[in-house]
């Protein structure tokens, strides 16, 4: 294929395609994580999926279902991972993956709504609470480290995080309930 015959692939400057990819990242993460038991493998499958999405952007038909198209790419990357890991005894079988795929696709709208509700509720938190959660859930950071930095007892950090999580859960439930009634 000559240079002038090469296919045109939308570059990151294609804002619409970029927005579609970004809007569906959480759903892709959940979809892949549900079918790939090892988090490192799931991360790799996600990276391969995102790469394939961009490499095949020219195949996406604007106006069609981006989620279904991206999930199909992810599904094939999960199968490829499964084939590569076949020797491992704890890998899911094809029937289980098909069942998980159906269940994930059915629950995706609810998970998306909960994710949007969480984002809404996070914005309503006090900046200090958001900061504490960000630090608390940062990989490799222990509650004892945070307590030492804030000059507070470790138990106080646990109680505060518990209080924030409870408030977030209540906010999400209220938001979900309000959206159901609209």
Q: With residue 33 as reference, give the H or E element that holds it.
A: helix 25-35
Are 130 and 158 part of one and the same domain?
yes
Write out the residue range of the structural domain in which residue 27 sits.
10-108
Q: Are 100 and 178 part of one and the same domain? A: no
Residue 139: inside a domain: yes
Q: Which of 67, 63, 65 is nearest to 75 (CA)?
A: 67
Does one domain contain both 77 and 162? Answer: no
* Among 48, 79, 108, residue at a domain's last position: 108
- Whether residue 120 is contained in a domain is answered as no
Is the pTM higher than 0.85? The answer reads no
Q: Which stretch of DSSP H or E encloses residue 18?
A: helix 15-23
Contact residues for 141 (Cβ-Cβ < 8 A; gap 6+): 135
Q: What is the largest CA-CA distance in the chain?
A: 66
Query: 49 and 18: one domain?
Result: yes
Is residue 99 located within the same domain as residue 138?
Answer: no
Q: What is the pLDDT along the chain (182 residues), one digit of tens a residue?
A: 444 444 544 444 477 888 888 888 888 988 898 888 888 888 999 999 999 998 888 888 888 899 999 999 999 999 988 888 765 555 566 777 777 788 877 777 888 888 899 999 999 999 999 999 999 888 788 888 899 999 999 888 899 998 999 999 999 999 988 877 76
Task: Determine the Cα–Cα distance for residues 69 and 76; give it in Å rounded to an integer.
Answer: 11
Structure tokens at 12: 């990151």
pLDDT at 13: 42
Whole-number pLDDT of residue 87? 59
Q: Identify whether residues 94 and 133 lie together within a single domain.
A: no
HSE on the CB side for 22, CA within 13 Å?
7
pLDDT on residue 17: 83
Residue showing tokens 């999930």? 71
The answer as to whether 118 is a domain residue is no
Clarify whether residues 149 and 86 are in a common domain. no
Confirm whether 70 is domain-assigned.
yes
Total tally of structural domains belonging to the chain: 2
Domain boundary among 54, 75, 108: 108
pLDDT of residue 9: 42
Residue 147 CA to residue 131 CA, distance in Å, equals 13
């Amino acid at each position: 294929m000559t240079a002038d015959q090469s296919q045109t692939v939308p570059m990151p400057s294609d804002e619409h395609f970029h927005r579609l990819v970004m809007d569906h990242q959480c759903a892709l993460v959940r979809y892949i994580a549900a079918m790939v038991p090892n988090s490192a493998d799931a991360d790799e499958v996600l990276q391969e999926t995102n790469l394939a999405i961009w490499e095949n952007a020219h195949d996406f038909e604007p106006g069609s279902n981006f989620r279904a198209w991206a999930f199909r790419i992810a599904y094939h990357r999960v199968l490829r991972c499964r084939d590569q890991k076949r020797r491992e005894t704890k890998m899911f079988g094809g029937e289980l993956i098909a069942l998980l795929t159906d269940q994930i696709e059915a629950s995706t709208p609810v998970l998306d709504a909960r994710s949007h509700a969480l984002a809404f509720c996070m914005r309503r938190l006090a900046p200090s609470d958001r900061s504490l959660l960000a630090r608390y859930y940062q990989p490799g950071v222990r509650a004892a480290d945070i307590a030492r930095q804030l000059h507070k007892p470790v138990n106080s950090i646990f109680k505060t995080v518990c209080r924030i999580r409870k408030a977030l859960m209540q906010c999400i439930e209220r938001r979900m309930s309000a959206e159901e009634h609209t």
